[in-house]
């Protein structure tokens, strides 16, 4: 044994560690996110949508707009629309063509010939940092 090792008493260093400040963990996480902002932007988070999730619409034509927390790779992202099962071809998913956008955090598409019923819009986006995020929005088209 070396001289330094013999002069220090042996003890369990972790036995005396206590966390008297449970509110420190959120503060530490906040500091880490501020120091490393790329951690906070690891996935594209849906910030706003038109139509909003759970909305009721009266028109048969829809301009869909989804805004995210980060840049979206438009070429590798997609939107699909599930039509109501009561319709001809219902339950089938229709891939919607994305419209050009001048904002890197926005994807847009058109849905036409919407008959009354419940629809599900499935979104699959690739963020600029390579992370994939997906989700669903539900809306209903009602008679006027």
Domain count, the chain: 1
Give CA–CA dist 11/80, Å, rounded. 61
CB 112 within 8 A of CB 141: no
For residue 20, being part of any structural domain is answered with no
Question: In this structure, what token pair is assigned to residue 114?
Answer: 């919407």
pTM of the model: 0.67
For residue 29, being part of any structural domain is answered with no
The CATH number given to whatever domain includes residue 54 is: 2.60.40.1220
* 12-30 per-position pLDDT tens digit: 444 444 555 566 666 665 5
State phi, psi for 45 to the nearest 5 degrees: -100, 130
- Which among 11, 61, 41 is positioned nearest to 129, based on CA atoms? 41
Question: In this structure, what token pair is assigned to residue 121?
Answer: 């819009």
CB 119 within 8 A of CB 83: yes
Residue 80 CA to chain centroid, in angstroms? 16
* 37-60 per-position pLDDT tens digit: 554 455 899 999 999 999 999 988
pLDDT value for 50: 95
For residue 136, being part of any structural domain is answered with yes
């Amino acid at each position: 044994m070396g001289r330094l090792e013999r002069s220090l008493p042996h003890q369990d260093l972790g036995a005396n560690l206590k966390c008297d400040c449970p509110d420190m963990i959120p503060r530490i996480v906040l500091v880490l996110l501020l120091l490393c902002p790329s951690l906070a932007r690891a996935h594209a988070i849906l910030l706003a949508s038109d139509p909003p999730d759970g909305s009721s619409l009266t028109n048969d034509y829809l301009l869909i707009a989804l805004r995210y927390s980060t840049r979206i790779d438009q070429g590798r992202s997609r939107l699909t629309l599930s039509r109501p099962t009561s319709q001809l071809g219902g339950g089938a998913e229709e891939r919607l063509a994305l419209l050009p956008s001048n904002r890197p955090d926005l994807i847009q598409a058109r849905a036409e010939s919407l008959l009354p019923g419940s629809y599900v819009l499935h979104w699959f986006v690739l963020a600029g940092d390579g992370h994939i995020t997906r989700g669903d929005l539900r809306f209903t088209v009602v008679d006027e």
